Structure 1
């Protein structure tokens, strides 16, 4: 009886192990297919590119059969959109752009590079004109290049390029799809389906999977990590000059105030966020942190130890070099540094003028002055000599020597020539300076 219990107990253990080791239908994702959802949200910039690259790599490593890009973006920067498009075109498995909100400007271009486009009812796609930094349409050269890029993206999957060109050029006449002449083309979900720019309209993911023929597929979703959210924010071209300005002004203000307080913390945090964000986005490595640290150390050496400016110049060069190396665009970082420098100089002048200097360098800089009112006298002023008369021992042109009684003094005339032996009179004294005037003997 005891042996039977042992055998039964052993069989129960083996049965339990078999349940954990044998894959179930849920574990296999039904038919064994795997779909990855990757969000394309907010502005299109380099931080988004880094996130998409990581997401695509993860999906491919885990054996995804389909990648769905859920698009909801107002657009962004052309250079980042171009690299994202190249990333999508290079994916070896089927890709779908699922427009769940709006795919405007760079978002429309990215969607056109996917194998197919599916849109949610009420979503829209279009308005893809190139805009420069001032908010106006780009010049003819950039506009022409962008039109060629949009046309190529449309033709990639057999779409009529006229609609893509109309999204980027308001002069292309498509009155049936424009609310008003001269406007950029924006297609609704139904219009995009009608002209062949959307292969289907799906209300939700279940309808999308039904269209894709992956009803029983396992679904996984990529999420933007907190570090990537920070990276996307701080690598935005508009945020970069703000960060650098806060960083430089904070550190300069710290030099103007005693101890280490809020300005120094703000400055150090802003600079850390700049390097951290660019490192997470894949633009910078630890070498940029090291180079920046070397620059700061050299500046401190220049402040505390006289070095004829050599340490200071090298330190500033190292700091600027580290920021350029960490940036994805040399032109952008140089403009940002220029803006930060101008704002910091203006702030420093105003702060020094209206607040004064009370920083840590006050301990190593002599700012005291010696005043006569406090009893300090460098030269005794001979007020008692004023009015006395004497004789010029030398020619005064205007300086020379005169004798007053038994005392020889170095004197200076009021400006005119006085000959040797002429009578002179002391009219003013100031320290060691004695001013004389010729006495008319008539």
Structure 2
């Protein structure tokens, strides 16, 4: 085919070259001919990979969301969609089993799904999985919503991140009006205005997603306001999802020929014979997943605090300070995206402060006991959202270690207080010696292997046993031992 295209061009250019008279014109014509010959070669070389790709079976990129939805999952989904676009995949299967997650991560995922040029099929699988809370929103945002048998979705009520305890969940009943009291036209501002705003915003968001793909918007509102849930079969019956599939093969079979709504218009899926290509998380996603785990974040916080305390107490070691600073910064980064309770964080810091203060302030254990209690309570309420709770075993272990450290310090301090003084002026008090000469008020005595000036209120005879009662500079105050005086 290339020869058919090039041959007439070469013949026509030969005629032109014969009529050219100048050498410079011939040189220019040769260059133009060379460039003209390169054009079809480049065109056919560039289309070669596409032709070979089109001749083979299409692919479906498989993304797996297992566990809570956070920044790591959002980054993973974004890169998976980009990979599917670059490889010209026929569709993306977003397989989910999640208890929910963070609002901002969920919205990032939904934005990427809506803007994806490749159809995204959200698939709650395998059996026993769920798409709760944020997973329900993602299911509604997808071009096709599918579930495996014995799975469920729903409970999409948003939860405020970082709220303080004691906040009423329901608006308190209005007090009864007294007789003669005029009725006010303005309604009282509810105590949970912020929560109402969050719920209303979430309702509008999920209803917009439902209307985009023609799904049940009424139930979507109930899932947000009343936290209701559905099984896969129930969801299919009321048009919450598009299909129920028992495995990937069944899913592709049901997807074939289905029409979906894309940004550019309607598209008919050709899913028959697609090869499923899993997209595995890379090292960045794995690191983000690890440090955003609540248990890991909790350990990082404790390592950071104890590392800095050790460095401050023992300046010059450097390593504990470096490790502590890195761990504390990682913990702070994690806490800004995790649903932490600030009262719990304050109790943990207060408890550790009490434990440190116990080593300096003689409180007879009051600060230590209070510190351990504050530490345990703060750890329990630090993260209290489903899928984001700290392990009670981890809390108990760290509390026992902290309490053990506190008891060890207390026992050391008690032993040191009871131990006899072996240095300083107090060391000499109670030590016995011998008079080196006769003296009435002041003379020399032999104490602790040394000769000392001593003062006594009673006459002392050479060789008598004496005992030191006090020390004033280099002068000892002594008394005659009772048995020696008799």
Range class of TM-score, shorter chain: 0.5 to 0.7
- 1:71 aligned partner: 96
Greater CA drift, 78-87 or 130-139 = 130-139
Question: What residue in structure 2 maps to residue 10 of structure 1?
Answer: none
Aligned position for 1:349: 357
The equivalent of 1:109 in structure 2 is 137
In structure 1, the residue matched to 2:246 is 203
Distance 1:333 1:119, change over 3 A: closer
Counterparts of residues 204-353 of structure 1 (less than 5 Å): 204-213=247-256, 214-225=271-282, 227-236=284-293, 240=297, 242-253=299-310, 256=313, 272=326, 341-351=349-359
Q: How much does 1:253 deviate?
A: 3.3
Q: How far does the alpha carbon of each residue in 1:22-46 deviate from its partner, in whole angstroms, 9 at most, with x for none?
A: 99x9x96985311001012200111
User: What CA deviation, in whole Å up to 9, does each residue of 1:88-145 have, x standing for no partner?
Assistant: 1111111111111211111001111100111111111111111234699682121111
Aligned residue for 1:190? 233
CA offset at residue 229 of structure 1? 3.0
Aligned 8 A contact 1:243 1:271 in 2: no
Pick from 50, 68, 73 the counterpart of residue 75 of structure 2: 50
Q: 1:268 to 1:205 in 2, by over 3 A?
A: farther
Do the aligned partners of residues 250 and 68 (structure 1) sit closer, same or farther apart at CA in structure 2, a change above 3 Å counting? same
Which residue number in structure 1 is paired with residue 198 of structure 2? 142
From 147, 160, 179, the counterpart of 1:132: 160
- 1:163 alignment counterpart: 219
Q: TM-score, normalised by structure 1?
A: 0.54
Corresponding position of 2:35: none
Q: Look up the SS of the partner of 2:107 in the other structure.
A: helix
Q: Which residue matches 2:111?
A: 86
SS of 2:145's equivalent in the other structure is strand
- Return the alpha-carbon distance in structure 1 between the equivalents of residues 82 and 313 of structure 2: 49
> Whole-Å Cα distance in 2 between the matches of residues 186 and 113 of structure 1?
17
The 1-side partners of 2:153 and 2:239 are apart by 13
Q: Is the 8 A contact 1:97 1:118 kept in 2?
A: yes
Which of 84, 90, 112 aligns to 1:59? It is: 84
- Does the 8 Å CA contact 1:112/1:154 hold for their aligned counterparts? yes
Task: Report the CA distance between 1:249 and its aligned residue.
Answer: 1.4
Q: Kindly tell me: are residues 259 and 51 of structure 1, through their superposed partners in 2, closer, same or farther at Cα, counting changes over 3 Å?
A: same
Paired position in structure 2 for 1:316: none
Q: Number of residue pairs matched?
A: 288
Give the conservation status (yes or no) of the 8 Å contact 1:84–1:110. Answer: yes
Shift of 1:223: 2.0
Q: How has the CA–CA distance of structure 1 residues 250 and 29 changed in structure 2, closer, same or farther, with 3 Å as cutoff?
A: farther
**Equivalent residue, structure 1, for 2:45:** none
**Does the 8 Å contact 2:101/2:134 carry over to 1?**
yes
Contact 1:37–1:221 (CA under 8 A) maintained in structure 2: yes
Note if contact 1:30-1:216 (Cα within 8 Å) is conserved in structure 2. Answer: no
Identify if the C-alpha distance between structure 1 residues 356 and 195 changes in structure 2 by more than 3 Å, giving closer, same or farther: closer
CA contact (8 A) 2:58 2:89 kept: yes
Residue 426 of structure 2 is matched in structure 1 by: 373
Change (3 A) 1:40 1:260: same
Q: Which string of whole-angstrom CA distances, capped at 9 and with x for unpartnered residues, describes residues 337-395 of structure 1? A: 867754543343245566669xxxxxxxxxxx98433579xxxxxxx9xxxxxxxxxxx
**CA 1:224–1:343 in 2, change beyond 3 Å: closer, same or farther?**
farther
Please report how far the alpha carbon of residue 233 of structure 1 lies from its aligned counterpart in structure 2 after TM superposition: 3.1
Q: In the TM superposition, what is the alpha-carbon distance from 1:331 to its structure 2 partner?
A: 10
- Structure 1's consecutive aligned runs of 4 or more residues displaced over 4 angstroms after TM superposition are 27-31, 133-138, 236-239, 254-261, 267-276, 326-341, 351-357
SS in 2 for 1:74: coil
Name the counterpart of 2:453.
none
Q: Is the 8 A contact 2:308 2:325 kept in 1?
A: no
Matches within 5 A, 1:419-434: none
CA RMSD of aligned residues (A): 4.3
- Matches of 2:326 and 2:77, distance apart in 1: 24
